[in-house]
Amino acid sequence: MIGKSKIAFAVTFGVMILLLPAVAPAQVSDIQQKARKEVYKALGDKKISASEMGAYIEEINKGDEAALLAMKKLEGYVPPAEGPSSSAGIPEVKITYTRSAVGRNARTAVWIEDSSGRHIKTLYRSVGGTINPFPVHLLKWEKAAGKISDNQPDAYTGATYSGGSSGSTYTFTWDCRNSYGSVVSDGEYVYKVENARYYAPPLRPQSNISSGRIRKGAVQDKSLGDIDNTPPALLSSLSAEFRLKKQGEAEKPLSPAAPASKEEKPDNFQ
């Protein structure tokens, strides 16, 4: 049996609830609604995780200005550089790697991330050979760029490079712009090279990823990358250099790459 004191408390609490002012639902502007749609779409396209979506929504709820900044960040926007003017030179980063003597049939991806691990720009991705579907994926690049490393050429592939033949050295130039064409701000960036190759069964496909850090700013910077030496190591060297190229300075011709193999064949350990 319920005591009189509990009944009195329940009645009093109910009256207090009735007397509380009605709370109007928070108004959401058109800009905030648009930003939310972009976030939901990015989640559906697997460009962001569920936890990242929550962080975006939290920012968007702060108002229109925060919503606009969230959309710009979502699309890969990086504020224009506030560093040296164009008269000081054109910023560029040269990334150079040398393939080891093994891994003749490795496919390769080269890309840039910011210091927090966000994909900035893909510089190169090689395709596989005539095995269809090709049994090797550039897993780290796929995750970073939100793309699939199939056998179809795209904006990142070309005839200049074959993906890396044994013992050859390759150089790629980053113009310090993101994939949307905006010059990135000064700071530290990460360059990554992934090599993946196919082994005949029962050996599994292998994917090695090597990386380094380079600073964009008012002065020249050089760095040596850390090579993934998981046996067998597919690179023997990796380095990068940032500089301000003079206006009208001619590009040095790159060493010719070996022609792409007409047929990818599975490797075995040597």
260 in a structural domain: no
Least confident span in 82-96, 158-172, 256-270: 256-270
Same domain, 111 and 165: yes
Same domain, 110 and 206: yes
Look-up: residue for tokens 């002012």? Answer: 21
Domain count, the chain: 2
Same domain, 112 and 230: yes
Residue 95 in 3-state DSSP? strand
Same domain, 236 and 120: yes
258 in a structural domain: no
Same domain, 94 and 221: yes
For the chain, the average pLDDT equals: 74
Same domain, 180 and 118: yes
Which has more pLDDT, 146 or 82? Answer: 146
Look-up: residue for tokens 């897993």? Answer: 139
Which has more pLDDT, 241 or 246? Answer: 241
46 in a structural domain: yes
pLDDT in tens, 214-227: 999 999 999 999 99
Q: How far apart are CA 158 and CA 152, in angstroms?
A: 11
For residues 28-49, average pLDDT: 83
CATH for 134: 2.60.40
pLDDT in tens, 125-162: 887 655 555 567 888 998 898 888 777 766 666 433 44
- Whether the full predicted model's pTM is greater than 0.75, yes or no, is no
> Residues 233, 96: contact at Cβ < 8 Å?
no
> Residues 91, 216: contact at Cβ < 8 Å?
yes
Give the percent of the chain with pLDDT over 90. Answer: 26
Q: How far apart are CA 30 and CA 196, in angstroms?
A: 45
For residues 33-56, average pLDDT: 81
> Residues 67, 32: contact at Cβ < 8 Å?
yes
Q: What is the pLDDT of residue 46?
A: 73
Same domain, 63 and 197: no
**Domain around 228:** 88-245
212 in a structural domain: yes
Closest by CA position to 192, among listed 102, 101, 103, 120: 120
Same domain, 69 and 188: no
